Structures are given as C-alpha cells and as structure tokens.
C-alpha cells in the first residue's frame, strides 16, 4: 500500500529550506519586523508575478478581501454579487463592511454561474466578487463586460488561483482590486497567515498602504480610521523565496491533474472538474454521488481526501439571520453533497498518483 496524504508541504519546503532559513536569519539580524524592505520587495515581486501594477501585503486573505471592499467604498446599503459555492471567507468580507450579500448559484463548472449574475443585479449593486475556486478561472471576459455595462466594480477572490490566467491576463490583475491569501496550504503559502491586495489603480494602491496601517500616512498622523493588517516582514522574506518556485510547483500540479484527467475519464459516476486552460489546480475536485463510501474506501487504502466544502455559506449557522433555506441554491447544495478533493500537491510521485487512480477505479469496479 502506498501512503498518499491529502496535502503535504514537505516536498516544497525541503526544496527551499536553506534559502528560507537564510531569509529568516537576515530579517532576524536586521531587526525590523514590521513593514521593512522584505515586505516592500515582496509586494513588487508578487505584483509583477500577478501582472498587476501594485501589490499590498496584508495580514490574511480575509483582510485582503475586506480591505478591497473598503477601498472601493463599499459598505452599508450596497449589494455585492458573490458565488453561493465558495469558502465562507468570501461572504464574511462582505459582512464585515456591512454590505449586503447577494449569492448566485454555481454553474456546472462549480464557479459563479455567469448566466445568473445579471438577474441578481439591482440598482444597489456595487460589485461582483468572483472566486477562482479550486484554482479554476472564471470567465473574466464576460464578467468584465457585465461589470462595465452595469458600472460595477470587480473584486477577484484569487486566494486559490495564484499563477492562474484568463486569456492574456493573470488572475488578480483583472478586477479593480483583488485579493489573495498566503495561508500555508495555498499554491503560494507562508509559514503562517498572510495575504495581499493587487490592483492596477495607483490611487487604490496608495489608499491601501494607509488603510492597512492604522490609517497612517506619516508616523502618528492618521487622517483616516484604518486597520492593523500588515504582512509580517518574516513572512514576506519567506514568500519571496517561495515565489521563485511557484511556476514550477504549479506545473507539477498541472501534471498531476493531467494524469487524473487521462486516467479517470468515464470511471464510475465521477464528474471530473472542467479542464480550463489557465487553471492552477489548487485542488482537484471530483464529484460523485457515492462520495462518503469512496472517501472511506480511499482512507482504508492510505489515501487522504477532503471535502471543499460540506456546508455552503447560506446554510451555515453564521448566516441564519439572512433566512436562506435549503433549496435556495440547488447546484451549490448538490456540490456540497458530492464534491471530493483528491490529493493534489507538488511533489506527489508518479507511484502515488497511480495508486490514487488505481484505487478510485477499483472502488467503482466492485
């Protein structure tokens, strides 16, 4: 039996160990731990990687989303269109600025259903918040057209899409103000929490620098009420090392995905994820009605899996006050019941991937 953890950071971290240790040591010796040269350099490098003009490091992906909404002036009385099928953080950011969540069901590609977006737009709508969920890419051509037609802002939730692209543009460079997360298991992960805002708008960039740092323009001068949401100098130094490997690690993910696609076509009742160009496979999410049985079968064979996500935000206790009920977003609810994330990380060996494929096939052959 081959052991296949659902996710392991060991392969990636072994590759950068000595460089990361050197980077940490450098910060330690310089003794500047908040908003120093590492954060500044990382912001430039991450923005360049993302094809955006500017980057601003913040404390988490949730903060990157929340600050993006604030930067665009979105608050109470404003409506934000968001996928019903996403991680709850996307919704929480909208709640945090006091705006109104307007969920739209997922399409068969598991992303925001663009056919349903226009029906959700009202005179109060201020923004659309697409999520490049699982590292798959939303159709940004259609979304941009829609946003332009209705004079709406776009905020890309690129927490799971670092390195992904839509046509000629990297995700995180298309919306007005975009958010990503450096949670350790993300395609680009820190050794702790972290996030970033990317934008092409100089004014938003300058405002973001102030907003994330107590609203301070100069030391102890605070023209606006801001937040303490800064990316740590240590995390920035680590992320700079890891960023150099991101393209290679994403390629590895794509190779694993390609094998899954080739080998699992037509197996049992499995629905494979869409094979969109530009996806970076943060997760490889299949669907099956026999999810729980498959999951425990794979577990017995030493294969780790996860469910992203078992309860959609509209049915979470956190959102009972919004009075959504089962049946409101049927496709998202069906996804919650059928999705299964297979092992996906750079460093999975051919033997491990073959074992996953073999065991999935043998489950359906029983």
Ligand X SMILES: Cc1ncc(COP(=O)(O)O)c(C=O)c1O
Taking the CA atoms of residue 262, residue 266, residue 271 and residue 275 in that order, the dihedral angle to the nearest 10 degrees is 30
Near ligand X by CB under 6 A: residue from 86, 199, 229, 288:
86
Beta carbon of residue 180, minimum distance to ligand X (angstroms, whole number): 8
Show the DSSP H helices in 179-271 as ranges. 202-211, 233-243, 246-264
Indicate the residue among 283 and 353 with the shorter CB distance to ligand X: 283
The residue whose Cβ lies closest to ligand X is: 61
**Interaction between residue 232 and ligand X (CB under 6 A):** no
Residue closer to ligand X (CB basis): 114 or 159: 159
Nearer to ligand X, 26 or 184 (CB): 184
Q: Which of 157, 232, 233, 333 binds ligand X (CB under 6 A)?
A: 157
φ, ψ of residue 272 in degrees (nearest 5)? -80, 155
Instruction: Name residue, tokens 């690690």.
Output: 249
The answer to whether 250 contacts ligand X (rule: CB under 6 A) is no
Instruction: Examine residue 93 and say whether the peptide bond preceding it is cis (omega within 30 degrees of 0).
Output: no
- For residue 238, give the nearest of 89, 28, 54 by alpha carbon: 28
Query: Which residues is 178 bridged to in the sheet?
Result: 198
Closest Cα to residue 362, out of 301, 274, 291, 273? 301
- What residues numbered 9-68 form the site for ligand X, per CB under 6 A? 60-62
Site membership for ligand X, residue 159 (CB under 6 A): yes
Answer yes or no whether residue 162 interacts with ligand X by CB under 6 A.
no
CB proximity list for 107: less than 8 A, separation 6 or greater? 113, 114, 115, 116, 331
The footprint of ligand X on this chain (CB under 6 A) covers a number of residues equal to: 15
Question: Which residues from 171-230 bind ligand X, rule CB under 6 A?
Answer: 181, 183, 193, 195
Distance, in Å, from the CA atom of 184 to the CA atom of 237, rounded to the nearest integer, reads 14
Would you count residue 90 as binding ligand X (CB under 6 A)? yes
155 binds ligand X (CB under 6 A): no
Q: Which residues make up the interface to ligand X (CB under 6 A)?
A: 60-62, 86-87, 89-90, 131, 157, 159-160, 181, 183, 193, 195
């Amino acid at each position: 039996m081959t052991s296949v953890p659902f996710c392991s950071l060991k392969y990636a971290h072994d590759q950068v160990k000595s460089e990361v240790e050197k980077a940490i040591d450098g910060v330690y010796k310089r003794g500047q731990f908040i908003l120093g040269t590492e954060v500044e350099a990382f912001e430039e490098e991450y923005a360049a990687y993302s094809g955006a003009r500017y980057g601003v490091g913040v404390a988490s992906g949730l903060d990157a989303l929340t600050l993006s909404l604030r930067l665009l002036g979105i608050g109470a009385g404003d409506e934000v269109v968001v996928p019903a099928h996403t991680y709850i953080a996307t919704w929480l950011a909208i709640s945090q600025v006091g705006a109104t969540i307007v969920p739209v069901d997922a399409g068969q590609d598991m992303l925001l259903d663009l056919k349903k977006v226009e029906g959700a737009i009202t005179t109060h709508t201020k923004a659309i918040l697409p999520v490049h969920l699982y590292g798959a890419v939303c159709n940004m051509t259609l979304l941009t057209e829609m946003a332009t037609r209705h004079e709406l802002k776009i905020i890309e939730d690129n927490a799971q899409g670092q390195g992904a692209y839509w046509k000629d543009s990297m995700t995180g460079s298309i919306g007005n103000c975009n958010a990503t997360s450096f949670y350790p298991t993300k395609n680009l992960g820190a050794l702790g929490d972290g996030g970033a805002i990317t934008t092409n708008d100089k004014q938003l960039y300058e405002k973001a620098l102030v907003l994330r740092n107590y609203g301070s323009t100069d030391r102890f001068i605070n023209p606006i009420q801001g937040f303490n949401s800064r990316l740590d100098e240590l995390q920035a130094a680590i992320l700079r090392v890891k960023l150099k490997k991101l393209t290679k690690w994403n390629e590895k993910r794509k190779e694993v995905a390609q094998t899954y696609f080739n080998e699992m076509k037509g197996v049992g009742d499995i629905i494979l994820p869409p094979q969109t160009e530009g996806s970076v496979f943060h997760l490889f999410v299949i669907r099956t009605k026999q999810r729980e049985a498959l999951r425990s079968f794979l577990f017995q064979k030493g294969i780790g899996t996860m469910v992203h996500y078992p309860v959609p935000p509209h049915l979470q206790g956190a959102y009972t006050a919004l009075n959504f009920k089962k049946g409101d977003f049927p496709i998202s609810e069906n996804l919650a019941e059928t999705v299964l994330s297979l092992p996906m990380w750079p460093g999975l060996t051919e033997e491990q991937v073959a074992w996953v494929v073999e065991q999935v096939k043998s489950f359906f052959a029983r």
